[in-house]
Amino acid sequence: MTVLTTAEQLEARLRQIGRERYHSNHPFHKLLHNGKLNRGQIQAWALNRYYYQSRIPMKDAALMSRISDPALRREWSQRVIDHDGTREGQGGIARWLFMCIDLGLDRDYVMSEEGILAGTKFAVDAYVRFVHERTLSEAIASSLTELFAPSIIGERLAGMLANYDFISRETLSYFDARLTQAPRDAAFALDYVKTHARTPEERKAVADALIFKCDVLWSQLDALHFAYVAPGNIPPGAFTPKDPR
Amino acid sequence: MTVLTTAEQLEARLRQIGRERYHSNHPFHKLLHNGKLNRGQIQAWALNRYYYQSRIPMKDAALMSRISDPALRREWSQRVIDHDGTREGQGGIARWLFMCIDLGLDRDYVMSEEGILAGTKFAVDAYVRFVHERTLSEAIASSLTELFAPSIIGERLAGMLANYDFISRETLSYFDARLTQAPRDAAFALDYVKTHARTPEERKAVADALIFKCDVLWSQLDALHFAYVAPGNIPPGAFTPKDPR
């Protein structure tokens, strides 16, 4: 591994990690975007990803709980507001829940968190824990998958709208907001780690934090793919689609 | 769910959970025991399970760190000794490492923990964390998968010896010791939770802890099965068998 002696080398390394490890490369996303899944499989994706969405503001609050600078905390708090909204029914989590219901899932079932794959919970909980335990630069770096989000969201919106007659632009409204939020958040976090990781060791820790986060996303799709793409592999207790149409 | 009003009902519920959710039911184990895997796939199994083995004494130490009764701590410390041995080269971890090397893996590579699936790490780390955070009865209950270990170990020893010419009784010596250790440990833990979980709520928490632990084991096999049974699904950075023979 090359020693990262400058902030520009760090940025290049982070972008390389995204090209190699971001979950846009996962076979499940190719199936999802290319119309190869049925409604029950897409329900399983939305349900499991709901657990991830639900933990993101908890992760961001954990990060804020470790920031002593009011300006940085204020900046970061926008992420919590984006997910939680400023009143009932608004914000990213509400939009994700709307998508789940629009796909035919029961609201109370989704919110109960029953039926979520253990693999999803272990990966997401590991992410929240990481942000509690690591340095501030590593915790902020773990959000940098947002750098690569706009391209996958664009591909997802086009692919899912074209390929599934039960999905409308409204179903996918969560992603519209993310198209502007993600680049703003990623630019801030990238600038932060480029400025604050000052030694090769700190830059390596930042790069490793992004690898960890890519693993968190990838591992969720591994669990989803194994359970729902081929028949017979749904773990005991996990969501079982009623509606495979 | 039936309310658990007696210790006997709790034991019956725990045994039911084992029948329904213990990883002996996982399709990967059927492949492993029935001679359907190649050497590279068995290497992947041993390598990933090494990470689990390596964390078990850390889990047990976490549990001991929360026990104020010297007698109970003394009882529990036997588990750490069983895994760590009383000198270099002895104990369960050393025996597991011997198996990995006997299967053709490099000792330093195994011990580096590189190449372990993210799904393995997230599940195992969730187990260690669970024992840190939950009540003592729940932490002890999460060890109760040992109740069901002897049957799977018997099946594994017979199946692997019969079906793979590169595996000898010596390769599998780890499991010989477990055949006596697991029942002793399980009997103690079962007696503990039957005595100390005194309300229906506490008994339900104990049963849920065993479900959690079954999920920890099952989810590891999900990750392993997805990555190594069908081609093309090994996640970025994970172990890639060189030797599929």
Task: State which amino acid sits at residue B245.
Answer: R
Instruction: Residue A67: name the closest of A149, A132, A150, A145 by CA.
Output: A132
Q: What angle do CA A181, A186, A189 make, to 5 degrees?
A: 130
Instruction: Residue A117: name the closest of A171, A52, A61 by CA.
Output: A52
Which pTM does this prediction carry? 0.93
Q: Residue A58: is its pLDDT beyond 60?
A: yes
Q: Which pLDDT score, from 0 to 100, does residue B245 have?
A: 52
Share of chain A above pLDDT 90, in %: 96
Q: Which pLDDT score, from 0 to 100, does residue B110 have?
A: 98
User: Domain B7-228: which topology?
Assistant: Heme Oxygenase; Chain A (1.20.910)
Q: Do A223 and B227 touch (CB under 8 A)?
A: no
* Residue from A127, A217, A218, A222 whose CB has the most chain B CBs within 10 Å, to mutate: A222
- For chain A, the structural domain boundaries read 7-228
Q: What angle do CA B137, B139, B140 make, to 5 degrees?
A: 65
Q: Which pLDDT score, from 0 to 100, does residue B2 have?
A: 85
* Distance of alpha carbon A144 from alpha carbon A229, whole angstroms: 29
Instruction: Residue A51: name the closest of A103, A120, A142, A122 by CA.
Output: A120
Q: Which pLDDT score, from 0 to 100, does residue B183 have?
A: 93
- Tell me the backbone φ, ψ of residue B118, rounded to 5 degrees: -55, -40
- Burial of residue B56, with CB atoms counted within 10 A of its CB: 0-12 exposed, 13-18 middle, 19 or more buried: buried
- Tell me the backbone φ, ψ of residue B244, rounded to 5 degrees: -80, -5
Tokens found for residue B191: 């007696």
Instruction: Residue A117: name the closest of A59, A174, A60, A41 by CA.
Output: A41
* Distance of alpha carbon B97 from alpha carbon A53, whole angstroms: 39
Give the A-side interface with B, CB within 8 Å.
20-21, 25, 27, 117-119, 121-123, 125-126, 129, 211, 214-216, 218-219, 222-223, 225-227, 232-233, 235-237
**A69 C-beta neighbours (distance < 10 Å), count:** 10
As a whole number, mean pLDDT of residues B102-129 equals 97
Q: What angle do CA A153, A158, A161 make, to 5 degrees?
A: 115
Tens digit of each residue's pLDDT (9 = 90 or more) over A5-15: 999 999 999 99
Question: B45 vs chain A: nearest CA distance in angstroms?
Answer: 16
ipTM value, please give it: 0.88
Helices (H) and strands (E) in chain A, counts: 11, 0
Q: Which DSSP string corresponds to A207-226?
A: HHHHHHHHHHHHHHHHHHHH
Q: Which pLDDT score, from 0 to 100, does residue A244 have?
A: 53
